[in-house]
Amino acid sequence: MNVVEMRGIYKYFSDTCANKNVDFSLRKGEIHALLGENGAGKSTLMNILYGLYTYDAGTITVNGARVDMENPATAIRHGIGMVHQHFMLIPQLTVTQNIFLCAKEAGFVLNMPTLEARVEEMNRRFGFRVDPSAFVWQLPVGIQQKVEILKALARNIRILILDEPSAVLTPKESDELFSTLQSLVREGYSVILITHKMQEVLDFSDRVTVMRAGEVVDTLNVSDTDAHALANMMVGREVFLQRQTKPQPTGEPMLEVCDLTVKNDKKLDWVKNISFQVRAGEIVGIAGVDGNGQLELGEAIAGGRTLESGSIRLCGKDITRSSIRRRLDMGLAHIPDDRQKKGLVLQFPIKDNILLSGQRSKQYANGFFLNTKKIEARTRTLVERFDVRPTDINLPAGSLSGGNQQKVILAREVDRGGKVLLAFQPTRGLDIGAIEFVRAKLVEERAKGAAILLISTDLDEIRSLSDRILVMYEGHITGELPYNAPLEQIGLMIAGHDTTTIEKARGDVQ
Amino acid sequence: MNPKKHIKDALLGAWRPALAILGAVLVSALLLRAFGYDAGHSLAMLYDASFSNLRVFGSMLNRACPLLFTGIAVAIAYRGSVFNIGADGQFLAGAIVSAWIGIKGGGLPGPLLILLMVLGGTLAGAAWAFLPGFLKARYEISEVITTIMFNYIAIQLVGYLVRGPLRDMAQAEPQSYAIAAQGWLSYLIPKTKLHPGFIIGCIVAVVIFILLFKSWFGYEVRAVGYNPIASKYAGISVTRTTLATMLLSGALCGLGGFFEVAGASHYLYESLSSGYGYTAIAVSILAGNNPIGVIFSASLFGFLTLGATAMQRVIGVSAQFTSIVQGIIIIFVAAASVKGLQKTRRKAEKGGH
Ligand SMILES: Nc1ncnc2c1ncn2[C@@H]1O[C@H](COP(=O)(O)OP(=O)(O)O)[C@@H](O)[C@H]1O
Ligand SMILES: [Mg+2]
């Protein structure tokens, strides 16, 4: 039985058609994935269902009855709740206060102990462990998301929409989230999961609706399809995420990290006596679960974090104490882990983001003054070559999708002509088309002889790009593997089992 | 956004404030009538106070001059995300040092004396901004608090000087000796008291505009202002840039202080700044933190203060009421500029994918 039916939905934003004749249905008790690249219109469609956006044509039926979705209150009354991509919690309030914010039954004067008891009760029922009296700002994102879910559940909804819920989560947090969702559907809830991650569709969803450019391509049972077919439907053409690199001889060591120890923000040693080299023409992948020191390692190499001990050499010269400026000048290119925070000035137009770090260079400035003509000409070339869309170089970077933001960073860093490229989670949160593009560029740079250090928590990415894989666990490099090492072996190693125990376990089994 | 577009925006943007002023005048007229004043006469007086002849027009520009300098100073700081509430103190520091040089340097020839006063005033303004700037850049101590504290220090320092070491006993009210006559800036137009401050302020506005939007230095200031972390990873020294922004901002205020002393008052007294540095925040925001826009918003404030005094003096509209009229005009103009902002933002969002 369909709990939600959307028929012939049209939605225009001035002249953009975000949803075009969209049909969508949700069955009771299913996890229904809404799959599509960024900008495909997924969030728009669900915001319409949740009453946040008006729609230009079409009908919505909930539990068999036509509903005029005027606002979220209407949606909630019909049992529809939504957890947005960007959480809508008030950090200064406690978990309980957030959950019962505006909830009518909470009454005018809040009786905190009663409400907290109700949160505890929900905790028990849904298998959460959220401290009702904790302040939201104290909580990691994974828990904040649970608060969002509890907030929806507290309003007695039966249909839960989640907009790219795993985008902000660590792999472990994602696993928890999905087991929560599975237990919800067992209780008869229905879930719509917006995502552009194939694996979430294949592993956790019952049906999938693929959207592209505002239209529905198809709705399928997940058991009747596979990753390849879905990827092609999403992008509209053949995609290549498989390994494209061919073995090639490597050159001199360009990045040499020696006995490096770095502290984290809590002043604990978080990178411990790490040593490795990256040679010209190779990609070295650092695999590991988030939080095992990769951030600190990356920042130490980029120059944003001071070292406790050890040394770093770039192109044969010691940069242990060099400023970031000096590292960039010596040939370091840097794709930071957090593109919006560390890689871009979102308020600046694309061209000023291409300029970033080159503003004093001869290429873009005549002495004290910027050469607008040169900046614009170069930006146009790069925007074309890196396929940044839209192509208007005066648009603020903040208005671009994640993939296009990443392309702007990539264009700038590659164009500076660096010999060493530090790529930190270069495709996190991107859609398939952009992932394919970014990876192809990295491979291209490798072919040109760049030394690339790839830090990623995505094992598929590590395996499809690296020439060698280093495993990082609790601040140590716990092993080196060839690129074609079996996935399960890497998986065990990043979880802290060293290879010898694995061998031993194998031995025991045999 | 390219600079030409900025200028065009600033000019095109002018009709909006114009409409806002019209609206404000209508509302004010209604209010004046409701409270039994002759609305037509009052508003005519507001207008006459600045535009009836060249002499009052000159006074209006002189009134706008300190706001122009402090307004530009606040605008550039704001671009670098430094909230300089200390413009008042930096303005006074500039005035103090200019006056002190002007008083003590009686033996120097005019051009040299003026040059020394300019340098002294500018440096004093920058020096007054240094410590707050340093504390912000190096230790992330809020400049909002430190600059306000420095305002108090400057005000008290003026009080001390004009009651103590620099006091001219021939005057009934506490004020300093006048600066040496060759240090007085000449009036630009006969029969007016228009000193060169406003004109030079306009030039400074254009220079700062070019600095902000056409030079790598201004680029770095704005980059740090928007996103210090990304700036850091792009190799920009956030500490140095923040400090430079603050020093520049302070220097501009100090220069304003120089013009007030050498061009307008010729001596130091306690209420030399009637809170110019604070009004400058409104002036800057009204101009969208665009230095060229500050020329217009500073003039608007000059016009309003002068007009308010006239309404009060001639018609007897109470001082509070003239403040109300001022407030109405400012709210209208501010509302108009916020509307403008929203439009740009929507444009940005529309481009997104
Ligand atoms: N509030 C909005 N104003 C204007 N255009 C929008 C707005 N929200 C989305 N769009 C446009 O609609 C299209 C679909 O966006 P969206 O639904 O967010 O895609 P998805 O969630 O699949 O990434 C995009 O082209 C986007 O630029
Ligand atoms: Mg979306």
A352–B contact, CB cutoff 8 A: yes
Task: Enter the tokens of residue B157.
Answer: 């320092």
Q: Are B87 and B98 in contact (CB under 8 A)?
A: no
pLDDT score recorded for residue B347: 42
C-alpha of residue A43 to centroid of ligand 2, in Å? 4
Q: Which ligand 1 atom is nearest residue A14's CA? A: 4
Report the residue of B216, B237, B239 to disrupt the A interface, i.e. the one with the largest count of A CBs within 10 Å.
B216
- CATH number of domain containing B92: 1.10.3470
C-alpha of residue A117 to centroid of ligand 1, in Å? 40
DSSP per-residue string spanning A419-451: SEEEEESTTTT--HHHHHHHHHHHHHHHHTT-E
Average pLDDT, chain A: 90
Q: Are residues A263 and A229 in the same domain?
A: no
Q: Are residues A117 and A193 in the same domain?
A: yes
Using the Cα atoms of residue A217, residue A218, residue A222 and residue A225 in order, give the sign of their dihedral: negative
Q: Does the pLDDT value for residue A54 go beyond 80?
A: yes
DSSP secondary structure letter of residue B187: P
Q: Are residues A449 and A476 in the same domain?
A: yes
Q: Do residue B351 and residue A352 have CB atoms under 8 angstroms apart?
A: no
Q: Do residue B223 and residue A348 have CB atoms under 8 angstroms apart?
A: yes
Q: Are A6 and A59 in contact (CB under 8 A)?
A: yes
B203–A contact, CB cutoff 8 A: no
Asked if the structure places residue A88 within a domain, the reply is yes
pLDDT score recorded for residue B282: 87
For chain A, percent of residues with pLDDT exceeding 90: 69
Q: Which amino acid is at A221?
A: N
Residue A83 CA to residue A436 CA, distance in Å, equals 28
Residue A354: closest CA among chain B residues belongs to which residue? B234
Partners of residue B234 in chain A, C-beta under 8 Å: 324, 328, 356-357
Q: Is the CB of A38 under 6 A from ligand 1?
A: yes
Residue A366: closest CA among chain B residues belongs to which residue? B215
Ligand nearest to the CA of A46: 1
pLDDT score recorded for residue B5: 64
Q: Do residue A344 and residue B215 have CB atoms under 8 angstroms apart?
A: no
Asked if the structure places residue A346 within a domain, the reply is no
pLDDT score recorded for residue A509: 44
B230–A contact, CB cutoff 8 A: yes
C-alpha of residue B352 to centroid of ligand 1, in Å? 7
pLDDT score recorded for residue B295: 95
Q: Are residues A271 and A231 in the same domain?
A: no
C-alpha of residue A19 to centroid of ligand 1, in Å? 9
pLDDT score recorded for residue B2: 53
Q: Does the pLDDT value for residue B322 go beyond 80?
A: no
Most informative mutation of A9, A10, A13 for ligand 1 (most atoms within 8 A of CB): A13
pLDDT score recorded for residue A337: 92
H-type alpha helices, B170-237:
197-214, 216-226, 228-233
User: What value does the mean pLDDT take over residues A171-180?
Assistant: 85
β-strands A65-66, A57-62 pairing: antiparallel
Complex prediction ipTM = 0.86
Q: Is the CB of B350 under 6 A from ligand 1?
A: yes
Residue in B1, B226, B235 closest to A345 by CB: B226
Q: How many domains does chain A divide into?
A: 2
**pLDDT digits 0-9 by tens, A79-136:** 999 999 888 899 999 999 999 887 666 666 777 888 899 999 988 888 888 999 999 9
* Phi, psi of B77, deg, nearest 5: -65, -45
Q: Does the pLDDT value for residue B344 go beyond 50?
A: no
Q: How many domains does chain B divide into?
A: 1
In this prediction, residue B337 has a pLDDT band, given cuts at 50, 70 and 90, of: low
End-to-end CA distance of chain A: 49
Q: Which ligand 1 atom is nearest residue A42's CA? A: 22
Partners of residue A355 in chain B, C-beta under 8 Å: 219
Residue B293 CA to residue B336 CA, distance in Å, equals 14
Distance set, CA B272 to CA A507, B187, B319 (Å): 89, 20, 20
Residue B308 CA to residue B313 CA, distance in Å, equals 9
**pLDDT digits 0-9 by tens, A22-47:** 999 999 999 999 998 888 999 999 99
Ligand nearest to the CA of A401: 1
**pLDDT digits 0-9 by tens, A477-491:** 999 999 888 888 888
Asked if the structure places residue B28 within a domain, the reply is yes
* Residue minimizing CA distance to atom 16 of ligand 1: A41
A391–B contact, CB cutoff 8 A: no
A43–B contact, CB cutoff 8 A: no
Task: Enter the tokens of residue B340.
Answer: 């403008």
In this prediction, residue B184 has a pLDDT band, given cuts at 50, 70 and 90, of: very high
User: What value does the mean pLDDT take over residues B78-91?
Assistant: 93
What is the CA angle A194-A198-A199, rounded to 5?
105
Which candidate, A210, A300, A295, A312, places its Cα nearest to that of A254? A312
A240–B contact, CB cutoff 8 A: no
> What element of type H or E holds A16?
strand A16-27
Residue in A336, A352, A355 closest to B233 by CB: A336
Residue B139 burial (CB count, 10 A): 8
Task: Enter the tokens of residue B172.
Answer: 């009934």
Q: pTM of whole model > 0.90?
A: no
Ligand nearest to the CA of A15: 1
Which residues, in sequence order, are bridge partners of residue B173?
Answer: none
> Long-range contacts for A357-364 (Cβ within 8 Å, ≥24 apart)?
A357/A328, A357/A412, A357/A416, A357/B234, A357/B235, A357/B236, A358/A412, A358/A416, A359/B216, A359/B219, A359/B220, A359/B223, A360/B216
* Phi, psi of A54, deg, nearest 5: -80, 165
Q: Is the CB of A41 under 6 A from ligand 1?
A: yes
User: What value does the mean pLDDT take over residues A148-176?
Assistant: 87
Q: Is the CB of A42 under 6 A from ligand 1?
A: yes
Q: Does the pLDDT value for residue B349 go beyond 70?
A: no
Asked if the structure places residue A83 within a domain, the reply is yes
In this prediction, residue B13 has a pLDDT band, given cuts at 50, 70 and 90, of: low
Q: Is the CB of A394 under 6 A from ligand 1?
A: no
Q: Are residues A211 and A68 in the same domain?
A: yes
Which candidate, B207, B152, B185, places its Cα nearest to that of B258? B185
Q: Are residues A213 and A310 in the same domain?
A: no
Which residues, in sequence order, are bridge partners of residue A57?
Answer: A10
Partners of residue B78 in chain A, C-beta under 8 Å: none
User: What value does the mean pLDDT take over residues A219-239?
Assistant: 87
Q: Are residues A201 and A117 in the same domain?
A: yes
* Residue minimizing CA distance to atom 21 of ligand 1: A43
pLDDT score recorded for residue B346: 43
Asked if the structure places residue B353 within a domain, the reply is no
Asked if the structure places residue A432 within a domain, the reply is yes
Asked if the structure places residue A379 within a domain, the reply is no
* Phi, psi of B186, deg, nearest 5: -80, 155
Average pLDDT, chain B: 87
Residue B35 burial (CB count, 10 A): 12
Residue A265 burial (CB count, 10 A): 9
Asked if the structure places residue A397 within a domain, the reply is no
* Phi, psi of A246, deg, nearest 5: -105, 150
- What lies within 8 Å, CB to CB, of B235 at 6+ separation is A323, A324, A325, A326, A327, A328, A329, A357
Residue numbers of the domain that contains A317: 253-331+418-509
Residue numbers of the domain that contains B219: 3-344
Residue B321 C-beta-side C-alpha neighbours within 13 Å: 22
- What lies within 8 Å, CB to CB, of A106 at 6+ separation is A100, A115
A365–B contact, CB cutoff 8 A: yes
- CATH number of domain containing A500: 3.40.50.300
A331–B contact, CB cutoff 8 A: no
Q: Are residues A426 and A496 in the same domain?
A: yes
Q: Are residues A318 and A184 in the same domain?
A: no
Q: Does the pLDDT value for residue B37 go beyond 70?
A: yes
Residue in B214, B219, B233 closest to A324 by CB: B233
Angstroms from B2 CA to nearest CA on chain A: 8
Angstroms from A317 CA to nearest CA on chain B: 18
C-alpha of residue A39 to centroid of ligand 1, in Å? 5
Q: Does the pLDDT value for residue B137 go beyond 50?
A: yes
Partners of residue B237 in chain A, C-beta under 8 Å: 323, 325
Q: Does the pLDDT value for residue B17 go beyond 80?
A: no
Asked if the structure places residue B252 within a domain, the reply is yes
Q: Does the pLDDT value for residue A349 go beyond 90?
A: yes
Residue B221 or B317, more confident:
B221
DSSP secondary structure letter of residue A167: G
**pLDDT digits 0-9 by tens, A399-453:** 998 899 999 999 999 999 889 999 999 998 888 889 999 999 999 999 999 999 9
Q: Which ligand 1 atom is nearest residue B353's CA? A: 27
Residue B2 or A42, more confident:
A42
User: What value does the mean pLDDT take over residues A449-464?
Assistant: 93
Ligand nearest to the CA of A86: 2
pLDDT score recorded for residue A462: 93
pLDDT score recorded for residue B67: 96
User: What value does the mean pLDDT take over residues B69-94?
Assistant: 95
Asked if the structure places residue B146 within a domain, the reply is yes
Residue B3: closest CA among chain A residues belongs to which residue? A372
Asked if the structure places residue A242 within a domain, the reply is no
- Choose one of A209, A235, A261: the last residue of a domain: A235
- Judged on CB neighbours under 10 Å (0-12, 13-18, 19+), A424 is buried
State the residue for tokens 């140095």: B240
Residue B156 or A107, more confident:
B156
Q: Are B253 and B91 in contact (CB under 8 A)?
A: yes
3-state SS of chain B: helix, strand, coil percent to 5? Answer: 75, 0, 20
In this prediction, residue B348 has a pLDDT band, given cuts at 50, 70 and 90, of: very low
Q: Does the pLDDT value for residue B153 go beyond 90?
A: yes
B234–A contact, CB cutoff 8 A: yes
Query: Which has the minimum average pLDDT: A204-218, A330-344, A464-478, B278-292?
Result: B278-292
User: What value does the mean pLDDT take over residues A290-316?
Assistant: 94
Q: Are B76 and B252 in contact (CB under 8 A)?
A: yes
pLDDT score recorded for residue B342: 47
Asked if the structure places residue B351 within a domain, the reply is no
H-type alpha helices, B53-86:
54-79
In this prediction, residue A296 has a pLDDT band, given cuts at 50, 70 and 90, of: very high
Q: Are A318 and A310 in contact (CB under 8 A)?
A: no
Asked if the structure places residue B350 within a domain, the reply is no
Q: Are residues A213 and A275 in the same domain?
A: no
